Structure 1
Amino acid sequence: RMPGIQEYLQQPLLSGLRDKASYVRRAAVLGCAKMLKLQGDSEVDGALVNELYSLLRDQDPIVVVNCLRALEEILKKEGGVVINKPIAHHLLNRMADLDQWGQSEVLTFLLRYRPRSEEELFDILNLLDGYLKSSSPSVVMAATKLFLVLAREYPHVQADVLVRVKGPLLSACTSESRELCFTALCHVRQILGSLPGHFSSHYKKFFCSYSEPHYIKCQKMEVLCELVNDENVQQVLEELKGYCTDVSVELAQGAIFAIGNIARTYTEQCVGILTELLGLQQEHITSAVVQAFRDLVWLCPQCTDAVCRALPSCEDAIQDSEGKRALIWLLGAHGEKVPNAPYVLEEFVENVKSEMFPAVKMELLTALVRLFLSRPAECQDMLGRLLYYCIEEEMDMAVRDRGLFYYRLLQSGVEEVKWVLCSPKSDPSLGLLEDQTERPVNTWASEFNTLAPVYGRERWALVTAHQPAEPSYACSSCTDSRNSDTESLISEGSKEVLKVHPNTGSLTLIPDVYLTAEQFEKTWLSLDMSCHLSLPWCGTVHPDTIQTALHVVHIQTIAMSKAGVQPWKAYLSAQDDAGCLFLTELLLEAADSEMQVSVKQSEAKPEALQTFISALRTVMGAVAGLGS
């Protein structure tokens, strides 16, 4: 609203930073960040940055925290505020003076510091030990993350920390704040991935209250599934059984699916409960039970007979697509054990013209052909009618093609049909694959106390990868530190971080510009190397996630190796609005190494190249954690 006001702000703000009143200094520090934000892409004043660094020694704790936040905002494009040894030790000594918000902020900033010796590491951990018992959940979570990250080479220390944080997490899970409760439950599930029995003795804490919203109840049910053992299985199943008749359809079906998951270990008890629920003749309950049965017989073939005995009379109560598909699959795969299976499928065939869901029709085709192989006399006529309808009258091309496929397959002979369709009806080994092995704490320690456990790893990677996808990128700069007052807090190694490079201009990448593999190869061979760098990488590669994240910032994938291939390679292309091409090769020789990045440019534009590399580095950094 006042474009020219910036030139009048600097002097009052500098005076405010030196004011005797702490309240004025607090406001002035925040004003510095606001002023530089208003200035946009102009250079950062190095003297102002140095002044803020010197204020980290201010007597007022709120001024200290405000300085950290202001420096983080001002130096965001350069990686944020520098935390070296003098600054880290100074902040550690000021922790007791800070309020809870300030403590959680400082603990987060301390993640950037790496102790230089084992003795220093344990001195820091001992100093912060008391914050694991703080009354503030945010302080406890921040302290826990700092412990987990610093003690990455000491698994026994990490395990001890997670035992000590159990109490605060359980308290947060029963908090009246729904947001806090949900976030705590997500972190509990994250911990259970590494320590499966960690909360088993406190399973009753995860029983649902009537007044809780359904999203919290669903999270609690997920946790309960992971806490089941021989001692509490009966109590957990009784609790889940009560949720199955909840007025919320989503919650009731979630409880049924939870019982179905537990049935992989405690089959007989769970099948009995699920069969009993069928007697209620409620549409959504019957549908969920049949879906649970479908998954269960695939993973636990020993329960097939009990499931088949429970199927008769289910068809009348199911109206949704997923429920119909599950029932039809069961009748097709195990119809020889269900006396009325052909007659149930015949009813579906008679109503096929009014069926709204193409997926149900395709499932019906497959099931009826499979049942025809075991009970041909009862299925021949209805199979002919169904094939005729699908080929001659059906408007959906996917259903029509499926009908033609089975018609031609049947013409080739019964033995050929059996060879194609008579695949195994169950695979218990898949249950072992679905049960996740225990993950080391280090694979998720850096994600603790973030939104990653709430969103999920892959979704969070996509969310964060979208952040750099702005049409322009710019870097600002400041001068070397020359203020003698800050020498005690800023070491020689950190001064270069305070140097910010001049503005490199902007870069706009054009979406939907594709090169063929031949065009890429021809252009690549004709160009000289513009830049080569190494990016830190840990663990395996997730090609789909990388490709999606790159696409968000308009970097196209020409070719990419599959996951697990060594060496792993990827070839990328991008084009800016001036027509300059950026061709990139990614090379990862082996897991847990550095990724080599080679970039070639069709035109010599150093500024644009630097900005492109910055964007690429940001995207790859966002998805690198998925491999750990």
Structure 2
Amino acid sequence: MSTFQANLARLQIMKNKVLNVLRKGENFELKTELNSEYRDRRKEAVRRVIANMTVGKDVSGLFTDVLKNMQTEDLEIKKLIYLYLINYAKTKPDLVILAVNTFVRDTEDSNPLIRALSIRTMGCLQVPEVLDYLCDPLSKCLRDPSPYVRKTAVVCVAKIYELDPNVADDYGFIGEVRNALTDSNAMVASNAVISLREISEIDPTRDFWRLDSGTMKALLPIMNECSEWGQITILEALTKYKPRDEREAVTICEQALSRLQHANTSVVLTAIRLIVVYEEYIKNSSTIREYQRKLEPPLVTLLATRSEIQYIALRNLNLVLQKHPEILSKHLKVFYCKYNDPVYVKNEKLGIMVRICSESSAKQLLSELKEYSKEVDVDFVRKSIQAIGQVGVKHQSAADQCSKDLLDIIKTGIEYAVEESITVFRDLYRKYPNRFSDALKPICDCLEIVQAPEAKSALVWIIGEYSQSISQAGKLLEELEPDFLDEEEEVQLALVNSAVKYFLKKPQEGNELVLKILRVASESSPDPDVRDRAYLYWRLLSANPGSARAVALAKKPAIGLKQINVSEDLLKELVSEMGSVASVYHLPSKLFVYQRSKMVGAASSDDIHALRVPHSANGDDESSESQPKEQDMAEEEPEMLISF
């Protein structure tokens, strides 16, 4: 074995040597081609250098040879060389200075494309040594007659501010960008918005981004002329603007309504975000209802797109429904799952369908969900059965149909479907006590099938709760007693509770059983919660059976529909971030977005505590609260505060 390993090591060394020779040979060949007297060869060599750089090969050794080809009229070669410089500028800042004269010369070229390309590249280099040579050309480009050059120059200001804020202040670049907000060209104005917002993120202590009424009026008319990304930028900026009065809010919303028909999904979602946010500034309820009605068609249209976009739309729609539960209530069929939908889309659709389901459409939805329970995907089947129970809990008129469908699923004998159905039946019995007596026998007959702890604990709970109606209740509990210590904690607790209930309802039949279970639970169970529960009941039964009856057989409050909602404060923040990653994760962006400003840093613990509260809309035995873990953020590098 050692000989084999030695030979393998030798082969690896030889392989590395061969690869090094090949690499050296390739770079040597490229070096020769870059210095060729033939233009076509030099052009092809530059292409190969960029191709190697793109796949991760180190071609930094060709820096000076690539620089020699900068002085060319060929726009393609110039673009490729600029890409090369941007990639290696930080590792070779001293050599980048050699290219400065060419950059400055290009900023005065007659071709606006070359002027814009040079100023953009100088800004992207992010090398302090280049900064002194960049400012004068940038000042000229900010006033360039070509809007293409001006729109590039205003974005470059943000890059300069990130590199050295003092330089940006000394040259008055911030004021130039503010003036560009009212530029006659839509591209320049939208890029000015982007630049000022980025600068505000870098240094939020200074009020660079001020959207007043005059600027707002200048931005609204140019949206039709902007590119889709420019429209998104302006809409996002308007989302943060506080209208002076209801009339101004309505004017802005009317402009946003025309964006709902846009082909770009991000434009549509941002327009929806603006309208939903501005509802708080509009007092007229009929106007709000009209806007909500107009939001329905674009939301439905988003579900006809690719699966990935559907998922984002569904996650955002979930937030809208928490704010306006009545929206899309007439479009239930749109959310029916298709056979080729990915699982993540199907799961989101299930949640949406339960939310928008009305009493009149409940039976129709139950029929659809029953079909889903026959699918092959186990996780989707479980969630479909859970949805059946949620519909039954939500609408009393559909409870009987829900029970019938669950019994049909139980009759199939499929283990995971049976287990989930029994778990759902427990919720139905909690919501509607003393109903569905015809389901008790089929449920109890599944005792040997059920293996999952949650399903088994639900079955044991049903046996104990309705032991007076189940003729074989004592026998069923006795079958579980020998394996008591092998069961999970939740099953052991359910057995203790059910044994006590059975004894209190049928003292003569349950006397021996309750003694056995309480003894083994209090003396042999390794779980402290189980032991404490057993001790508690033992003392109650010994000292005061009446108190034990009041505790164990107390009337339980009916449960409500289990739906994961976010807190009101978090919902307001997430709605203002619709269309972003935050609205997909349902978490505020401050928890996972690295702040570029060291003065801002990570979110404070108070912010996290106030905003991390997805919770169940109804008080229930089980808490569905999920709390993301807070971690420290490094000073220099972005670090995910939450693992997704």
Calculate the TM-score normalised by the size of structure 1: 0.68
2: CA distance between counterparts of 1:325 and 1:42?
69
Aligned residue among 230, 244, 256 for 2:385: 256
Matched AA of 1:289: S
Match of residue 25 from structure 1: 150
Give the helix-richer structure, 1 or 2.
2
Residues matched between the structures, number: 477
**Is 2:239–2:576's contact at 8 Å kept on the other side of the alignment?**
no
Deviation at 1:163, TM superposition (A): 0.7
Once residues 551 and 116 of structure 1 are traced to their aligned partners in structure 2, the CA distance between those partners, rounded to angstroms, is: 32
User: Residues 344 and 8 (structure 1 numbering): CA distance in 2 closer, same or farther, change over 3 Å?
Assistant: farther
In the alignment, which of 280, 289, 298 is matched to residue 168 of structure 1?
298
The match for 2:431 is 299
In 1, distance between residues paired with 2:239 and 2:523?
67
Q: Measured at CA, do residues 116 and 386 of structure 1 come closer, stay the same or move farther in structure 2, by a change above 3 Å?
A: closer
Could you list the per-position Cα deviations for residues 81-104 of structure 1 after superposition, in whole angstroms to 9, with x for gaps in the alignment?
211122111111211210122112
> Aligned to 1:315, what secondary structure does the other structure show?
coil
Match of residue 320, structure 1, among 452, 472, 476: 452
Which range moved further: 374-383 or 111-120? 111-120
2:432 maps to amino acid: C
Match of 1:414 in 2: 545
Give the 3 Å change call, closer, same or farther, for CA 13–316 of structure 1 in structure 2.
farther
Name the residue aligned to 2:609: 548
- The alignment status of 1:51 with 2:51, answered yes or no, reads no
Distance in 2, matches of 1:44 and 1:388, equals 80
Q: Contact 2:182 / 2:215 at 8 angstroms: preserved in 1?
A: no
Aligned-partner Cα distance in 1 for 2:540–2:352 = 46
1:144 alignment partner AA: I
Q: 1:173 to 1:87 in 2, by over 3 A?
A: same
Q: Which residue number corresponds to residue 616 of structure 2?
A: none
Residue 114 of structure 1 is matched in structure 2 by 242
Q: Does 1:189 align with 2:328?
A: no
Letter of the 2:308 counterpart: E
What are structure 2's unaligned runs of at least 5 residues?
A: 1-89, 94-126, 614-644
User: 1:154 is matched with which residue?
Assistant: 284
TM superposition shift of 1:182: 1.7
C-alpha distance in structure 1 between counterparts of 2:584 and 2:231, whole Å: 23
| C-alpha displacement of 1:243 | 0.9
Q: What is the CA-CA distance between 1:59 and the residue it aligns to?
A: 4.1
Checking the alignment, whether the CA contact within 8 Å between 1:148 and 1:442 is kept in structure 2 is no
Change (3 A) 1:22 1:41: closer
- 8 A contact 2:390–2:561 mirrored in 1: no
Letter of the 1:400 partner, please give it.
R
Q: What is residue 574 of structure 1 aligned with on the other side?
A: none
Report the Cα distance in structure 2 between the residues aligned to 1:247 and 1:165, rounded to whole angstroms.
35
Moved more, 361-370 or 194-203: 194-203
- Alpha-carbon separation, structure 2, partners of 1:263 and 1:551: 30
Conserved? CA contact 1:473–1:507, under 8 Å: no
Structure 1 residue 472, shift from structure 2 partner: 5.1
Q: Retained in 1: the 8 A contact 2:151–2:191?
A: yes
- The aligned counterpart of 2:163 is 38
Residue 74 of structure 1: which of 199, 206, 214 is its match? 199
Alignment of 1:131-142 (within 5 A): 131-142=259-270
Distance 1:301 1:447, change over 3 A: farther
Distance 1:14 1:42, change over 3 A: closer
- State the partner residue of 2:352: 223
Tell me which amino acid in the other structure corresponds to 2:458.
A
The amino acid of 1:338's aligned partner reads I
Aligned to 1:335: 467
CA offsets 1:215-255 (integer angstroms, 9 cap, x no match): 21112112222333454333322211011122222211111
Residue 387 of structure 1 corresponds to: 518
Selected match of 1:98 from 223, 226, 230: 226
SS in 2 for 1:247: coil
Distance in 1 separating the partners of 2:453 and 2:268: 46
Distance 1:184 1:118 in 2: 29
Separation of aligned partners in 1, 2:581 and 2:329: 25
Amino acid at match of 1:320: A
CA displacement at 1:290 relative to structure 2: 1.0
| Higher radius of gyration, 1 or 2 | 2
Higher relative contact order by CA 8 Å / sep ≥ 6: 1 or 2? 1
Decide which moves more: 129-138 or 403-412.
129-138
Aligned to 1:624: none
SS of 1:366 mapped into structure 2 = helix
Choose the corresponding residue for 2:494, options 334, 341, 363. Answer: 363
- Distance, in Å, in 2 between the alignment partners of 1:54 and 1:546 is 36
What displacement does 1:7 show?
Answer: 4.0
How far has the Cα of 1:203 moved from its partner? Answer: 1.6
Q: Which residue does the alignment assign to 1:198?
A: 327
SS at the partner of 1:336?
Answer: coil
Distance 1:411 1:269 in 2: 44
Question: How far apart are the structure 2 equivalents of 1:550 and 1:184?
Answer: 22
The Cα of 1:330 is off from its aligned counterpart by 1.1
Contiguous gaps of at least 5 residues in structure 1: 475-505, 512-544, 553-628
**In structure 2, how many angstroms separate the alpha carbons of the residues matched to 1:175 and 1:156?**
31
CA contact (8 A) 1:172 1:180 kept: yes
